[in-house]
Amino acid sequence: MSIISKDISKAVALLNAEEIVAIPTETVYGLAGNIYSEKAIKSIFETKQRPFFNPLIVHISSVDYLSQIVEHIPEKAKLLAEAFWPGPITLVLKKKNTIPDVITASKDTVAVRVPNHPTTLELLRQLDFPLAAPSANPFSSISPTTAAHVETYFKDNIKMVLDGGACKSGIESTIIGFENNQPIIYRLGSTAIEDIEAVVGEIQIKNKKEIAPDAPGMLERHYAPKTKTILTDNILGMVDLYKGKRIGIITFQSEIANSNIEVQIALSKTGDLAESASKLYDVLHQLDKMYLDVIIAEKFPEYGLGKSINDRLSRATK
Ligand code: TXA
Ligand code: MG
């Protein structure tokens, strides 16, 4: 029997009973549990096979809840929350002592966001506690953007996927930390840097090596298909190099005329980066099931969501 259901009250009952439930968000599906339940949080880590040193994001129903989670809200964090919540920005701020150490991997900061999905906002309003939710995929595999992706991963391990349709943004939230009260990007994501800069001024991206102690998960091979994956700005050259192999191609806009290609998918025929981001993981899931020898992806333009897409594709190649 399918574990996929639209029944919010069933999800409420399971979460109140310290079980975990996969939930839809605008970015990717999350594997959610009560932040105050040690049982639920342990179960999230076990189900995902995620190492305990990698902290979780806390999901709240509105910005009004923020002061119950964090100790101090820098001025620019307030501006970002007002501008983008509900939406795909996660703020990493000094945590309140009441936030359990298992959520934050014993750090003194906590990651928090208000997701922009009507089903999950309604779910959060019906619960007396926030939800911790990492992406609902086994550690380091491709994040799920449909309820079916989650079911394929976890049908034997979890009781329910709350169905909210396909995720509209399609890649994870942009994570922003604060150093001396100034924002800095820890992870590129579904909110473009240019949009963030329009609110808080110029912002740096934290060097990946420096992030390691702060957010270990970001360094690993991540968001990765099982099939060998290559990111290139010379797609025809790569296709030639793999001549005779079963090749799958991901491009931005245009199709490529080349008889060596087994399957090719252009993410947006109209050149829309948001549309490309929303389809990216589903296309990787599809290609990964086709027993290809190699997936060759075209480098996206290095601005707006193109930067975030290139970030995810380059991690998929590691
Ligand atoms: O869009 C998203 O953010 C999705 C949906 C479900 O909300 N969630 C998500 O969670 O991508 P996850 O666990 O797959 O990625 C969260 C990242 C991890 O790389 C973790 O290391 C980082 O956030 N993180 C969590 N707490 C942190 C903290 N206190 N300091 C720095 N990084 C933190
Ligand atoms: Mg993840």
Q: Where are the beta strands (DSSP E) in 151-254?
A: 161-162, 174-179, 182-187, 204-205, 229-232, 247-251
Among 54, 70, 59, smallest CA distance to 21 is for: 59
Q: Which atom of ligand 1 is nearest to the CA of 214?
A: 31
- Tell me the two tokens of residue 69: 């989670």
Among 173, 183, 187, smallest CA distance to 84 is for: 173
What are the backbone dihedrals phi and psi of residue 65, each rounded to the nearest 5 degrees, phi first? -80, -15
The answer to whether the CB of 232 is under 6 A from ligand 1 is no
pLDDT tens digits, 280-295 = 999 999 999 999 999 9
Of the pLDDT bands very low, low, confident and very high (cuts 50, 70, 90), residue 221 is low
Query: Is 109 annotated as a binding-site member?
Result: yes
Which numbered ligand comes closest to the C-alpha of 133? 1
| Proportion of the chain above pLDDT 70, given as a percent | 96
Mean pLDDT in residue range 140-156: 96
| Proportion of the chain above pLDDT 90, given as a percent | 89
Q: Whose CA is nearest to atom 21 of ligand 1?
A: 215
Of the pLDDT bands very low, low, confident and very high (cuts 50, 70, 90), residue 209 is low
Q: Which atom of ligand 1 is nearest to the CA of 57?
A: 25
Res 219: pLDDT: 55
Q: Is the pLDDT of residue 7 over 80?
A: yes
Indicate the range of 8-22, 96-110, 196-210 predicted with least confidence. Answer: 196-210
Of the pLDDT bands very low, low, confident and very high (cuts 50, 70, 90), residue 220 is low
Res 161: pLDDT: 98
- Using the mean position of ligand 1's atoms as its centre, give its distance from the Cα of residue 9 in Å: 26
Handedness of CA 33, 154, 115, 124 (dihedral sign): negative
Res 207: pLDDT: 78
The answer to whether the CB of 307 is under 6 A from ligand 1 is no
Mean pLDDT in residue range 91-108: 97
Query: Is 133 annotated as a binding-site member?
Result: yes
Q: Is the pLDDT of residue 138 over 80?
A: yes
What are the backbone dihedrals phi and psi of residue 10, each rounded to the nearest 5 degrees, phi first? -65, -40
Q: Which atom of ligand 1 is nearest to the CA of 29?
A: 6
Determine contact, residues 124/153, Cβ cutoff 8 Å: no
Query: Is 187 annotated as a binding-site member?
Result: yes
Res 237: pLDDT: 95
pTM equals 0.96
The answer to whether the CB of 90 is under 6 A from ligand 1 is yes
Q: Whose CA is nearest to atom 3 of ligand 1?
A: 173
Residue labelled with tokens 């948001």:
274
The answer to whether the CB of 130 is under 6 A from ligand 1 is no
Query: Is 37 annotated as a binding-site member?
Result: no
Res 238: pLDDT: 96
Mean pLDDT of the chain: 94
Q: Cα separation of 174 and 203, whole Å? A: 13
pLDDT tens digits, 304-314 = 999 999 999 99
Res 27: pLDDT: 98
Res 214: pLDDT: 56
Domains of the chain: 4-218 (3.90.870.10), 229-316 (3.40.50.11030)
The answer to whether the CB of 92 is under 6 A from ligand 1 is yes
pLDDT tens digits, 154-181 = 999 999 999 999 999 999 999 999 999 8
Judged by DSSP in three states, 17 sits in coil
